[in-house]
Structure formats: C-alpha cells, structure tokens
Amino acid sequence: MPYFIDVILPIPLQRLFTYSITEAESQFLQQGMRVAVPFGKSKVYTALVYKIHQTAPEVYEAKEIQQILDEQPIITPQQLQHWEWIASYYMASLGEVFRSAVPSAFLLESETIITKKDKTEVDESLLKDDEFLIFEALQHQSLLKIQEISSILGKKNVLPVLKRLIDKEVIQVYEEIYEQYKPKLVRYVKLHEKYATEENLQKLLETLNRAKKQREVILTLFSLSATAKKPITVKELTKQSNASSAVIKALIDKEILEEYYIQRDRVSYNGDETEDSKQLNQYQQEAYETIQTAFQTQDVCLLYGITSSGKTEVYVKLIEEIIETGKQVLYLLPEIALTTQLITRLQQYFGEKVAIYHSKYSVHERVEVWNNVLHGKQKAQIVLGARSSLFLPFSNLGLIIADEEHETSYKQFDPAPRYHARDAAIVLAKMHQGKIVLGSATPSIESYYNTKINKYALATITRRYGDVLLPDMELVDIKEKHRKKRMKGHFSDRLLEEIEETIENGEQVILFQNRRGYAPIIECKTCGHSPQCPNCDVSLTFHQYKNQLRCHYCSHHIAMQQQCLACGSHELDTKGFGTQQIEQELTELMPNVKVGRMDLDTTRGKYGYQKIISAFEQQEIQILVGTQMLTKGLDFRNVNLVGIMNADSMLNFPDFRAHERSFQLIQQVAGRAGRTKKRGKVIVQTYNPYHQILQQVSVGDYENMFKDQLNDRRQFHYPPYYRLIKITLKHKEYNRVNESAAWFAKSLRNSFGDNVLGPEFPPIARIRNLYLKNILLKIPKQQSLGKTKEVISRIKNSFLSISEYRSVRVIIDVDTV
C-alpha cells in the first residue's frame, strides 16, 4: 500500500498538495511537522504536514518528499484550526497564513539567503565534504542563495546540508540586521557600607560639621532615601542638595559615598525578584469586578477607561488570576505601542514569565519564544506581543488582552492574510475557551456598538488614577490668529505662551504634528511645478536632514533641487509642514530649550524609539515633537502641556472613519498631559474651531461623538451596520486596470447591485509603478458573508481565466479599515 501526505505550501494557492512517503515515514510523521518538498522544476519548499493518508491524487503523480525537518510537530491542532478560520474569513490561502505565522527561520526555501556566521571559530576538519564546499564558498562571497548552493553541490536537495551547517553554527539564515543599541548607564550614589551602623553614622556627621556643603549632601541623601525607596541618581542628589558635582566627587573620593551604574532599562527590574501588584482603587476595583462577573456568562469584555485611569493595573490583576491556574496569557498591542515602559512594568510583576514577541526582535529571539510557548514553558506563560503573536503555538490560553483595541494598525494590510488582530484574537480566545478583554480610552465605534447590543460586556473607568482631572482643552482659531498677525511660523501666541509657562515651571511639552518630514512639498513659484515620484502618483517630500526629496511610498529619492526642474526658476516654495520644520522653528524661537523629535525618521532600528523615550523621561529633552507615535499609551510623569499643531488635516481626510479617528487621536495625545498631580493643558490649533468633532473632543464627549457617527454609519451604510470588502486591482498599464476593474465591478453588480461602489482610483492612483483601482462591496447584516465570499471567489476565478486580465493582481481585503 502506498502512503501519502497532504501538505500546506507557503504560497498563495488555495489547495493542499499531495506527496508520497514510505510506510516508515507514515508512522513517524504527524500533522504539524515540517518536510522539505520539491515543487515545480527546481524549487524546494518547506511544507507543513496536514494529513497522512493512502489515497493517491487523481490528476498528478505524487512526488516524494525530500526530507523530514522536525522530530515533533511545531504547530498544534488548535493553531491549525485558527489558521483555517483566518484563511477562510480573510479570503487568503492556508499557505499564506502559514508563511506569515511562523518565524522565517522555519521556512528554509529556495529564496532563502545564507550567510556565514560571524565570530564562531569553525574547525574545518569537522566539516563533511559538502559542508566544506559551502563553507569555502562563503569565504569568497558574503551571501549565497539556495539556488547557488544547489549548483555548487551539483544536487537539488541541499536542505539537509544546510540544516547540519546551522546546527554546527557555521552559517545562518538571512535576517535583518538592526543597529546596535548602547544601553544607557545612569550614575547612582549610596552611602558607603562603613556607615551602615547608627554609631558610625553619627561620627560621620560630627566630622562633617565643618564641611557644611558635604553635610548638606549627606542629609539630603537621607531624606531622599527615606521618602522614595529607590536608587538615588547623582543628578537628583545634585539638584536637591544644590551641591556642585565637585562636592559629590569629594565625598566619593573620601569613600563616604559610593557610586555605581545601572543600565537605564533595567533600573526597576532586578532579575528574579518581583513586586506585588498595586492595590486597585475603588473605580479600578469596580471595573475589575464587572469584568469578572461578565466572564461568567460572556467571553468578550470591553474595558473603556479614560487615559491614565489605570487600565494596565486592572489587566495585571486579571493576569495574576489566570496564571495561578497554569493557563497562558496573551497581551496584544499595536506594534508601535509596545514600549519598554510597559515591558518593564509587566516584568516587575511577573518577572521571567513575560516573553516579548515582536517583529523588531531577531529571528533567533522569535524562535526561542515560539519554542517556549510550544512547550508550555513558564518562561513564556505571558506573551506580550504585536499582532503576529496571535500565531504562537498556545495550547492553553486562558486570557487575551487586546489593548488599544481601537487602533487600525491592528489590521494587517500587506501581505495576505489581511487579518484584523483584535477580531482574530476574539476567535482565538473562543477556540481555547478563554476570555478576552478589549481595552481603550477611545473605543472603536464597532466595539462600543457591540456593547450596546450586548454582544460584548462593558466595564468602565471614568476617573484618572489619583483623581487628576482630564486636561483642559482649548481650541485656538488660527485663521483668526493669522488675520490678527498673532502667528509666529506655525505657532499661535496662545500656544507659545503656554509653552513658555510650562517650561518655566520645569515641566515638559509634547507637540503633535500629523506628518513627518520637513516641508512635504516643494513648489515652483513661477510655474507651479513640484517634483513627482516617477513610480508613484505623489509629490516628493523634502527631508532637510538628508537634504533630499523622497517618496514616502517607494523610497525613491533625489537630491534637493536648487532650481525648478520644469522651468529653471530659482524661486522654490515649501508647502505644508512636518515635524522637522516644527522642531526647527522651535529651536529658533526658544534657543535655550532642548527639543527632540519622534517620528518614523528618528526611530528606526530596534532601539531608536526607546532612546528618545528615555531621553524624554530623563528630562534631557523639554519639548518632544512627534507624529502618531506619541499617542500610544506612553506614561510620562512630567508633561503638562500638549499642543496639536493642526487638527484639520486629520479631519479632512477622505475616509468614513476620519472623524472617529480624529477624535481618538486628539483624545489620546491629550491624554499624555497632566497624568500625575496637576491638571494638564491641551491647545488644539485649527482653522475650524466650530467643527463638531473638535467641539466634542474638547469636552471629552465620547457618547455624543459615538451617537453622531453611528447615525452617519447607518445612513451611509458603513460598519457596524454593513460589512466592507475592498477589492483592489493592480497593473502597470493604466488601460488594463481600467478595463479589468470595470469588468470586475460589473460582475459584482450582477449579484450585489447597488451595494457595489466604484471602481474608483484611490487618491494616490499609482504606487511603485502600478496603477490601482478600488471596488468597495457593502454587505448588509442579513446577507450571508460566506455566500458573498463564494461569489467573489467565483468572479475572481473567471476574471483570472480571461487572458488579458491574468496579469492583473487582485487584492481582497475583508473588513477593510
């Protein structure tokens, strides 16, 4: 009897593929193990075993597998079940899910790049002949593709050799290399051990009777250590005791004080010892109990707690309870909100049980977390991660927390599967019979609506921790200010006054600008020309730092022009403004103030983001200028003023969610102000102070914003009343996109009539040399989603069988955001 396996290949084709195996292999193999298989003429893929059986395929002769790659399954049955849901719901292939679900190190394949492993000493005598050939080739060439290795060895099956070389630490599979982070060391002091006893201390103080300044320092150190049981930095001591650094140095030299250094991000995490979680206040406690009660009958609960209400501490209590039972916890965050601040906070409570899973971590680190989760290790009982952590091999997931649930960056856009991590998490929790908390200070319209119809439970916290009031928000009419000549650059007199006052008080400022770059667009004053990207339908934007014009879509760049490319005129104007320009205006207006900037350009690399955050925390920076990134759950103690440079660009964005998003964004940025004692202040500059959303956000009126938006959504047939599927067609020829999109839309209209919108060119109709055209399908609640998708798939198949259209790319985005 012959034996076969059906496998999942990491490619976009919908089906499984059958390969033949021996009887012995059939006994060894299990679902969830990887095998290397030949595919097409010369490719080798890593495939995942789905099913073992004895039915030969009907239309083709099954090839043999090349190699078994695992001793045990690396994918659990539950995981596969979840993958199948994602593939089917988001109209992707199981192979696409496989590809994005596992760390790339699990997918050795013909495109993989091999490099020499640095640093390790290789004992050549231990290498077999074929291993040595590759080793030698890598002495001459820094990287090799699998194809090349295949020709060096003169055989197709190279995976076993590679696997051996990886085990021997000779080579590594290509991974991105990030800039090195130098941990910041902070200088601390403490009293020398000699003076630990009361007696010696008394003597010391007596001897210092004549050295007034030194005595003052010691006494200050005492009072500081008494009030805060934490290490004292030299900086703080200098400040509090008004002593010069020379005085402190003298004390250190005399061995009265002892200095030591701690790495900044480790300060509060001392390895194995953990802290007790905080006692919840009345409002947190109520929310916590509401969630507990809700979980007796429901699986999903929305925690709607205003900024700085202490949602994290509520999560911590819920996590404590779950891990007691031995179950696993997944704490999901949008990529960008995953900060060291939160990591440190959770490690304080849970120590080593917290594992981080993040795309900026190396493949190696990710594989490690994967394996720890797979083996149910304590070390990864709590996983803190971005959306891809949904794909980890959990076996016993008791609780998921999806924090900042309103963030649209939870939706994966490219490549497929285009899943929404929050929604896929709800399904995942169900599969494990676990519970899920969605948390936000500004819930998405969809989730809040779901609480109204009792699909989700709701818990709320309406006060900030410590009863600090939400910041006072002032709308400043910059049209008026311009008219009255009260603007300096992009700053109104009101904003400048508030900045000055805040800085004088020794507090910090955050300025939010919804754009990066210096002055996005260069325009010729003579002929109006502005340099365009040759690949995309957008103007290039000016980046002062590199003195370049860059495309934000494809990274095309040219040097900044001195002359108009069209007419040669030297009079060029800069239009629009970005974070860089704000930063520069500020340094001119307030030369003595330290200004920092946080946007995509300044936060590249694994620790780029962290560096800026620590500098701000340490108060090395007084004013932080930034984009969206600033909104994400950061907890700074000393920020008292938030300025929003221009609220209009967000409000005018052509999208049905623009108003909801503007409300959320402004509310979230505002939430960074006044988090501790004093009420904070927010200044919103706008040309449109009477805009309803601004009026609502200025008084924090979420309820009315929700009602209005819901009315609009009902009237114009948008979520939560209708589901949306967006179909995008892409091709390098304009006409072909046009014609094929018209065909596709017409076919859809045959089935769905007026619920089909478009085809239409998006605002940027060409990206990376491909023209785009969108069709939007609105699906009423009573229409079956499954049947709708079947129709779309059928239309897509017919579409691809038309020879002129075959080369058009069709992208289907279910629940597009």
Count the residues of the shown chain that bind Zn ion, applying the rule CB under 5 A: 15
Shortest spacing between CB 674 and ligand ADP, in angstroms: 12
Residue with tokens 């977390």: 369
Q: Which residue, 75 or 458, is less far from ligand ADP as judged by CB?
A: 458
526 binds, among ligand ADP, Zn ion, none (CB under 5 to 8 A by kind): Zn ion
Q: Which residue, 314 or 812, is less far from ligand ADP as judged by CB?
A: 314
d(CA 448, CA 432): 24
Shortest spacing between CB 235 and Zn ion, in angstroms: 46
Q: Give, as ranges, the residues between 247 and 306 that touch Zn ion (CB under 5 A).
A: none
The pattern of x and - marking residues 562 through 601 that bind Zn ion according to CB under 5 A reads --x-xx-x--------------------------------
Q: Which residue, 208 or 338, is less far from ligand ADP as judged by CB?
A: 338
Stretch (H or E) spanning 810:
strand 809-814
Q: Note whether 669 and 630 are within 8 A (CB).
A: yes
Cα dist. 23→5, 33, 212 in Å? 11, 16, 89
313 binds, among ligand ADP, Zn ion, none (CB under 5 to 8 A by kind): ligand ADP
Binding site residues, ligand ADP, CB under 6 A:
278-281, 284, 305, 307-313, 465, 635
Choose one: 247-255, 364-372, 536-544, 782-790; the region binding Zn ion (CB under 5 A).
Answer: 536-544
Shortest spacing between CB 315 and ligand ADP, in angstroms: 8
Task: For residue 301, say whether it is annotated as part of any ligand binding site.
Answer: no
DSSP assigned state of 739: H
Choose one: 62-70, 132-140, 482-490, 555-563; the region binding Zn ion (CB under 5 A).
Answer: 555-563
Residue with tokens 């969809």: 446
Choose one: 190-198, 215-223, 313-321, 530-538; the region binding Zn ion (CB under 5 A).
Answer: 530-538
Shortest spacing between CB 441 and ligand ADP, in angstroms: 6
Verify binding: residue 151, Zn ion, rule CB under 5 A.
no
377 binds, among Zn ion, ligand ADP, none (CB under 5 to 8 A by kind): none
The residue among 292, 287, 185, 282 whose CA lies nearest residue 233 is 185
801 binds, among ligand ADP, Zn ion, none (CB under 5 to 8 A by kind): none
d(CA 307, CA 404): 11
Verify binding: residue 548, Zn ion, rule CB under 5 A.
no
Number of neighbouring beta carbons within 10 Å of residue 165: 26
Q: Which residue, 214 or 440, is less far from ligand ADP as judged by CB?
A: 440
Q: Which residue, 477 or 635, is less far from ligand ADP as judged by CB?
A: 635
What one-character-per-residue DSSP string does 528-551 give?
----B-SSSSSB-EEETTTTEEE-
- Cα 662-664-670 angle, rounded to 5 deg: 100
Shortest spacing between CB 731 and Zn ion, in angstroms: 17
Shortest spacing between CB 682 and ligand ADP, in angstroms: 16
d(CA 116, CA 542): 39
Q: Which residue, 156 or 278, is less far from ligand ADP as judged by CB?
A: 278
278 binds, among Zn ion, ligand ADP, none (CB under 5 to 8 A by kind): ligand ADP
The pattern of x and - marking residues 747 through 786 that bind Zn ion according to CB under 5 A reads ----------------------------------------
d(CA 131, CA 624): 53
Verify binding: residue 105, Zn ion, rule CB under 5 A.
no
564 binds, among ligand ADP, Zn ion, none (CB under 5 to 8 A by kind): Zn ion
Q: Which residue, 122 or 336, is less far from ligand ADP as judged by CB?
A: 336
**Within 13 Å, how many C-alpha atoms sit on residue 361's CB side?**
20
Shortest-Cβ-distance residue relative to ligand ADP: 310
Q: Note whether 509 and 622 are within 8 A (CB).
A: yes
Q: Note whether 466 and 428 are within 8 A (CB).
A: no
Shortest spacing between CB 285 and ligand ADP, in angstroms: 9
Verify binding: residue 561, Zn ion, rule CB under 5 A.
no
From 26, 225, 395, 535, residue interacting with Zn ion (rule: CB under 5 A): 535
- Contacts made by residues 175-179, CB under 8 angstroms, sequence distance 24+: 175/104, 175/105, 175/362, 175/363, 175/364, 178/360, 178/362, 178/605, 178/606, 179/604, 179/605, 179/606, 179/607, 179/608
569 binds, among ligand ADP, Zn ion, none (CB under 5 to 8 A by kind): Zn ion
d(CA 223, CA 322): 40
End-to-end CA distance of the chain: 51
d(CA 642, CA 513): 11
Q: Which residue, 312 or 622, is less far from ligand ADP as judged by CB?
A: 312
553 binds, among Zn ion, ligand ADP, none (CB under 5 to 8 A by kind): Zn ion
185 binds, among Zn ion, ligand ADP, none (CB under 5 to 8 A by kind): none
- Contacts made by residues 611-614, CB under 8 angstroms, sequence distance 24+: 611/181, 611/184, 613/339, 613/340, 613/341, 614/184, 614/264, 614/265, 614/340
Verify binding: residue 551, Zn ion, rule CB under 5 A.
yes
Q: Which residue, 64 or 571, is less far from Zn ion as judged by CB?
A: 571
Q: Which residue, 115 or 526, is less far from Zn ion as judged by CB?
A: 526
Shortest spacing between CB 453 and Zn ion, in angstroms: 44
**Which residues are registered as beta bridge partners of 38?**
44
**Which residues are registered as beta bridge partners of 382?**
329, 354
156 binds, among ligand ADP, Zn ion, none (CB under 5 to 8 A by kind): none
d(CA 718, CA 710): 9
d(CA 806, CA 799): 7
The residue among 424, 614, 624 whose CA lies nearest residue 508 is 624
Q: Note whether 706 and 664 are within 8 A (CB).
A: no
Q: Which residue, 566 or 699, is less far from Zn ion as judged by CB?
A: 566
Q: Note whether 566 and 527 are within 8 A (CB).
A: yes
From 184, 556, 678, 717, residue interacting with Zn ion (rule: CB under 5 A): 556
Q: Give, as ranges, the residues between 510 and 529 that touch Zn ion (CB under 5 A).
A: 524, 526-527, 529
- For residues 102, 103, 109, 113, the Cα torsion angle rounded to the nearest 10 degrees is 160
Q: Which residue, 90 or 410, is less far from ligand ADP as judged by CB?
A: 410
Q: Note whether 693 and 651 are within 8 A (CB).
A: yes
Task: For residue 564, say whether it is annotated as part of any ligand binding site.
Answer: yes
554 binds, among ligand ADP, Zn ion, none (CB under 5 to 8 A by kind): Zn ion
Alpha helices in 56-124 (DSSP H): 77-89, 94-101
69 binds, among Zn ion, ligand ADP, none (CB under 5 to 8 A by kind): none
What is the maximum span of the chain, computed from C-alpha positions, in angstroms? 99
Shortest spacing between CB 444 and ligand ADP, in angstroms: 17
Shortest spacing between CB 816 and Zn ion, in angstroms: 23
Could you list the residues known to form a binding site, using ranges: 524, 527, 533, 536, 551, 554, 564, 567
Could you list the residues known to form a binding site for Zn(2+), using ranges: 524, 527, 533, 536, 551, 554, 564, 567
Per CB under 5 A, residues contacting Zn ion are 524, 526-527, 529, 533, 535-536, 551, 553-554, 556, 564, 566-567, 569
